[in-house]
Amino acid sequence: MRKHTPGQSKARKVYAHCNPFNDVPYNFPTSPASMDWSQHFAQHTKDHPNVPLQVSFVDIGCGFGNLLLQLAKLWPNRCGVGMEIRQKAAEITRGRLEQLRKEYNDSHTDNQQLHHYRNVSVIRTNVMKYISHYFEKQSLDVMFFCFPDPHFKKSNHRRRIITTALLDYYAYLLKTNGLIYNITDVKDLYEWTVAQFEKHPLFERLTETELKDTNINRVVQLITNETDEAQRVTRNGGQKYVCVYRKKNIV
C-alpha cells in the first residue's frame, strides 16, 4: 500500500450522490438583500464600476464546473454562479477558477483564446433549501439542470432537483420569459421531469422551431456535446434527452 507523505496531496474521492435532506450546516445569507456578491466578483466589479452587479444565470449542481467555464466564455458580459451541494466538488471548481484566473493574469497577452473567468463563481449550498436566500424575485435569466442525480429508487424521487413543488421556487426567481435548460441520460428521469413541468402552470416547453434559434441552439449544443459529462455519455454510447422550458408571461 502506498503511504501518504507530508506535503503530498491526497487523492480526493468525490461521491456522486448526496442526500439533500441530510442535516448538514451551510453558510447562507438570511435574505437576497444581505448577499454580498462583490466577494465573488471583486475583479469584475472593478473592471465594470458603472455597471450594477447582477447574477444572470445559475448552474444547479455544477459538479466540477465544466459547463460553468464554458458559459463564462459564451457570455463574457454576464455574471453566473455554479451551485453545488458536494463540498469537495465545489472546492475543485473553485480551485479550477483560481488557476485559470492566475493563468490569465500571468499571461500579459491579448491572446483571444484566454478568458479571465472573473464573471463566474461557485457556491457550496443546498439548492432545495436555500436558493431563495440568494436571488431576488424575477432576477435570473437562465437556470441549468444538467445531468442531475436521478435518485432511481421510487422512495427517493422526492430528492430529485426538479419537482412541481421546487418549480414554484424557480418560477419565483426567473424573469418572465426566463429559460430552464435540462439534460439527462436517464430516460425515466427525463419523462419525470417533463411531467413535472407539464403540471406546472407557469412553464411552457420550447418548440422544435424555437430551439433552432441561433442563441438557444448554441446553448443546447453546448450542454449536449461540449461538457465532460456530455462527452462521457457519448463515449459510452448513451442517449441524451434535452428539454428547455420558458417561464410564461402571465398577465
Q: Which residues pair with 242 in a beta bridge?
A: 183
CB hemisphere CA count around 154 (13 angstroms)? 0
> Choosing from 47, 149, 188, 228, which is the catalytic residue?
149
| Torsion region of 174: left, alpha or beta (phi above 0 gives left; psi -120 to 50 gives alpha) | beta
**d(Cα 198, Cα 194) in Å, to the nearest integer?**
6
Which cell is 21 given? 435532506
Q: Is 101 exposed, middle or buried (0-12, 13-18, 19+ CB in 10 A)?
A: middle
Residues 6+ apart with CB under 8 A from 164: 196, 199, 200
149 in active site: yes
Residues designated catalytic:
149
